[in-house]
Structure 1
Amino acid sequence: MALKALYANTKDTGFTINFFLKAGKSPRVGLLAAPFFTTNDPIKALTEKGCDVRLIVRFSPVTTPEALRGALDNPRVKVRYFTDAKFHTKLYIVDDVALVGSANLTDSGLKANRELSVLLRQDRDEAFYELPGIFDDLWNDADVLSEEILREYTKAFNAKDKPEDDGKFEKHVHKYVKPAAPTSVVAGSEKKSKDRAFIQSFRRKYDEILIPAHNEILEAALKNGFGRPEYEGQNPQIEMGRFLGWLRLTQGSGNGWRETPVLSDLKDRADRIAHYVAIWQSTDDTVKGDMYHASAEIENISNIRTFLCEPEELNRLNFDEIFRYLTGCHAFLERLRFVSKDIGEDLSGLERLRVDFQANNTVESVARTVNYLLSGSGSAIERAYDCVYGNYKLNGFGEACVMELLGWGDPERPPFNNRTIRGIRLLGFEVEHLVAGE
């Protein structure tokens, strides 16, 4: 069945869902924007053919957490959202065809309601060329849907006092999630606030790119026998952190990590992951550079979770004790490269790092930052941002240190540092530009 010129959900015109079902044998990119979202059927129709999808929705009385969960769990889908009730765009672009009209991404909108949507083709309709730019503007304005945001939205959606009116629901959802509005409808401004723009950039880096990449690697690794006996009984993320660091040091030394081809195909990445997992499982040397033996690594992480994640325990620690537990983060140990050798020439490397760190930070400021990062309220990514760029910033404890510590302290978030990001790049993911400082 060929695509029709318009869809109105009748037998004569065809049903809107057919646009997605019939949008080519091998679609490459799908750009979908709709305020109401209740079904993953159109997304599955695309991704099951190998299409990568970007989806923009609105948090509304209609958009269900279940549908969002399905999209977020799909490795070929990236999801962003608005909370503003004025977001009404229904725009669907698949490669060189687009559908513009009234149909939402709901069962009713795609199959039952008397909608009207018109097909535009790149090779025929001049207006088509404006549509990708319109989508990109919305995409850049929208906020990233993460696990944390979805949890809060689920609470809002399932609340007993949830209003069904769009305007009232917008106020209701803002009790759980910060406002996210297209720039064209932000009162008094044509730009997002500086803070929101920077935080969203930070969230996109970690929640939209690195965490999905990490999860894909872990899933593929576990399917291929990942799991050395010395890590048995531990959260597999602990071993994954060491695996990625080991990859960078042993398989991607020098510029080797960035010289391997980027892989866009999921199967190609899975094959590369399986190859390196086999080497990891058979090697006699999993310790390289400053990497700890498994037992020491497990103890370091246990100390972080026991002493640094518990405010009462943290408040009992002196500077040397906090410093010792922070050295469980490899990114912090790597700071030794930047410590002047003039500091305590007779001291060991670790002692020179401690002296330098203490000279630039008080015990009160370190404890305050660690407590806020690991035990503070609100979004983890916003707390991390504050510890890297805001009022909780420490001297000599930058982004890689903060994000690794956050990961070790929060079992629901993987730890990231520059070494693990390079390991992810070695496995075929396009993340080279995300290495801090490069």
Structure 2
Amino acid sequence: MENIFSNSMKRNDYLSDEMLKYAKNSEVSIAVAFFTNENFLMDLINNGCSIRLLVRLGFPTDGISLRRIFEYKHKIQIKYYTSKSFHPKLYIFENDIAFLGSSNLTNAGIKSNQELNVSIDSEDILFEELKDVFEDYWEEAHVLTMEIIKEYIDIVRELNTKNTEVEKAIFTKFGNHSYPNIIRIDKNKKSKSREFEQGLLKRYQSFVQKFITLKEIYESTCLRKASQLPLRIEIDQFLNWLREEKAYGDNYKRPSINTEEIREFTIEKIKEFYNSDYEYLDTTTVNYITIMKNLGSTEDIDSINEDQLSECLLSIHAFLGQVRHNKGGRIKFVNDFINSNGMDRIKESFKYLLFCEDSYTKKITNCIYNSDYKLIKFGQSCVQELFGWANKEEVPICNERTYKSMQYLGFGKL
């Protein structure tokens, strides 16, 4: 899969064509400054997608296009800003992929202009950050109604092409609504965290139920490649191996199959895994021992020093994945993390996540949204992975890699 899209005839890398590949019964979130292309949104809707569209009211956003697409309000929600400072170009397709770059949602922007956009896979640590940014944008935006659309159309018509006058009239009518760039948004808003927790619970329940089936199949083979690891961790490594060796790229997109077919196909892949030279399994064993030695109890967590904590952090794949996006290498990144959060705060957050009696979805949610437990540079992927490594409830590691590998085995989209 190409990662750069410039709408070039020579490269044949049109952004619209690439995005439509993911437009199959997906939840799509779009944040753009300019909107004039309702036809693209109709293509998404006709492919079973539901849409959240975030736009700026101002030239050249087209009120007629907004009015047409608004008629499909059972499939699309629209919010808006009026400030010229709102200028993103972001397209997120559920839990699959995001596109970020220079293209507004205009016919020229996604098809013919010389633009530059990149795709970001859901396994990239940046993906969850982009989702967070969109949610912040969405939460602060105003809801677009048909009444506002009609008033916007009237303003543009009355002032014709006098762009400056249009901007002034919009501010007068609707206010200068901008994203609060300087004011820090409260991440602990109950409605947002509650909605996230419900979605997380639904996804975890579906995954864990299917993981239990996978575990039963795995046990039936009597093949253990790393008996020193808990079975759920070995199976997680099997799923990682699948993603790297079999389900890479878009190969994971296989249709659901029946239980017996899943069993036969999975046993075949388990045997291949057992006979493979998967070197990362040794590293996984070392990482697991490191994490459990230092985070295996509340007493262990209370007693760890910075060096021991650093070892644990660098054993978390999602945490380590952030290093390449930050200058200075591993040591600097870990030191910055510890200095930004403080040892005491990190310990309290980890103790809550791993040992509190709250439900695991509530603990994960609070470690992402609740200011009492949320850590800087320790987002959703890190929280879920650490919980999967060290929890006492035998809940498996749950992330985009495992979802895709399970889909490859025939369990369906998670």
TM-score by length of 2: 0.50
